[in-house]
Amino acid sequence: MHGVVRFYVLASAVVLILLSGLVIYLTRQDGLQHVVEAAETQNIVLAQSLANSVWPQISPYVTMVGQADGDTLRSRWETELIDQLMRSAASNLPVLKIKVYNLAGTTVYSSDLAQIGADKRDHPAFIAAAREGRVQSKYSFRERFLSFDGPVADRHVVESYLPIRLSGDSGGAFGPEIDGVFEIYADVTANMAHEESKIFRLLAILAIVFAVSYAVLFLVARSASKVIGRQYSELESKAAELEQALKAQVEYNDLHREFVAMASHEFRTPLTIIDGAAQSITRKIETHPTDKIHKRCSEIRQAVMRMTGLIDSTLSAEQLELGKVRMEPQPIDLPNLLTQVRDRQQRISPSYRLTLDLQDLPAEIEGDPQLLEQVFANLLSNAVKYSADCQEVKITGTRDGGQAVVKVRDCGIGVSPDELPRLFQCYFRARTSIGVAGTGIGLHIVKRFVEMHGGTVSADSIKGAGSVFTVRLPIRLGQERRQPAGEQNAVAAAA
């Protein structure tokens, strides 16, 4: 068994266990939140009912006692009255316990009589209810609990601290001022049992789904392992063949360069002699003044120039193969060049809508027409290639001071902001270009050719909403760029 299958068995098992645990945990938390919210709503309704029906009878006593000890409070007849009222109100409801606090934090009443007199003034939930008027609820599991009906065991409980509002509003619990605090313990054991049963059903479904997925993916991984093994063997064989081919190519290139150098030397030597002889005849023309000699000398020199040009062309081909391009500046009808590039691309991509707006573009600039044609052909080709769903590209041209500005706008797949700074690097391809044919060289060539003209190119893009490429070219080249001085390294093809 290939290593990828062993890795899959272990990794997928860990992932499935973790994923199952996460799903169960999130489902339980969601169910628990639902139970707490439902219980809190029930406790709020009960608190409002108690505030309207019971609180007017016990309010004078609760507010009067202030801070008092438990024995004193338990001995008061009002405590028995409150207990009767609370038991009556909580009957037939899933309520285990009720407490009543005054604003001093004293437990004036509890259905668990032993808790009467306890001081809760520093309790965070009491402070939130009594000082800020906010309802505070929390869930807990109690192994033993003393309820209205006596001791109970293994209960899921939601306890809520609820502010009592009466003053200033005949609606009872909706008044603006807080007179006291109820603490109500709701029994949610049945609700939690229902949520647990849902979790068990979900766990069973997940187990079935994961088992089927695991089996299918295992078969896929095993098949992939066989394919990888076979491809690895083929790759080793191809690598050996490629190494031999590379050696042969290196030898061929060396021989070719040696041939070109030798041919250049061998051609130049006799041509230099011929040129020297022609110049000698020209210098002696005063002593041998005949039209025939002048004509022959002129023919010799013209032949020398033609042969020298042929040699230079041969050497230029070698330079082009090595990735060197010479810039040949001349006046260019830029709108016409862009129109030709658009028309050619339109013929290639008839289903696309390629629009031109060049009214504000300078009619003529200085530059190399072949290089600039390749710049805009690359940009337009890319715009079409990466706009399969939109199929609309706009080319606009304007003038900005001494610069011609051309924008190529598409509404295609776009590029992520973090990838824009690397977009013009050689061989770089954005994540959004996965599945689209290309080499990652074209935009690098665009940048190099534009910079050869003293211009700039930039890109603005929004992932999923298209891109805008802006080319800025000087209308008039600087003196250092007007002459084809020096060779500019660049790649002669784009994709």
Is pLDDT above 90 for 398?
A: yes
* Homologous superfamily (CATH) for 3-187: PAS domain (3.30.450.20)
How many of the other CB atoms lie within 10 Å of CB of 213? Answer: 12
Closest CA to 162 of 101, 96, 84: 101
Helix (H) / strand (E) containing 489: strand 488-489
Contact 281, 304 (CB under 8 A): no
Taking residues 128-145, what's their average pLDDT? 90
Using one digit for the tens of pLDDT, what is the confidence trace for 456-471?
999 998 887 888 999 9
Contact 386, 346 (CB under 8 A): no
Domain ranges of the chain: 3-187, 197-322, 329-489
High-pLDDT (> 90) share of the chain, %: 19
Which residues lie across from 400 on neighbouring strands? 403
- Indicate whether this model's pTM tops 0.85: no
In the chain, what is the straight-line distance between the N-terminal and C-terminal CA atoms, in Å?
41
Whole-number CA gyration radius for the chain: 45
pLDDT number for residue 289: 62
pLDDT number for residue 303: 56
CA distance 376 to 221: 46
Could you tell me how far CA 292 lies from the centroid of its own chain?
80
pLDDT number for residue 24: 81
What is the strand order of the sheet 178-187 is part of?
A: 107-110, 95-101, 178-187, 150-165, 136-147
Closest CA to 383 of 288, 271, 471: 471
Whether domain 329-489 has CATH 3.30.565.10: the reply is yes
Is pLDDT above 50 for 306?
A: no
Confidence band, pLDDT 50/70/90 cuts, at residue 245: confident
**How far is the CA of 60 from the CAs of 55, 130, 184, 210, in angstroms?**
9, 17, 21, 64
Q: Which residue would you say has higher pLDDT here, 369 or 387?
A: 369
Three-state secondary structure readout of 173-229 = CCCCCEEEEEEEEEECHHHHHHHHHHHHHHHHHHHHHHHHHHHHHHHHHHHHHHHHH
3-state secondary structure of 396: strand
Is pLDDT above 60 for 481?
A: yes
**How far is the CA of 330 from the CAs of 279, 424, 446, in angstroms?**
33, 27, 19
Q: Which residue would you say has higher pLDDT here, 83 or 17?
A: 83
Identical fold at 3-187 and 329-489? no
- HSE, CB side, 13 Å, CA atoms: give it for residue 199: 19
**How far is the CA of 164 from the CAs of 117, 121, 125, 158, 402, in angstroms?**
19, 16, 14, 19, 78
What residues contact 426, with CB distance under 8 A and at least 6 apart? 440, 441, 444, 491
pLDDT number for residue 47: 86
Could you tell me how far CA 147 lies from the centroid of its own chain?
55
Using one digit for the tens of pLDDT, what is the confidence trace for 122-131?
999 999 998 8
Confidence band, pLDDT 50/70/90 cuts, at residue 488: very low
Taking residues 252-268, what's their average pLDDT? 50
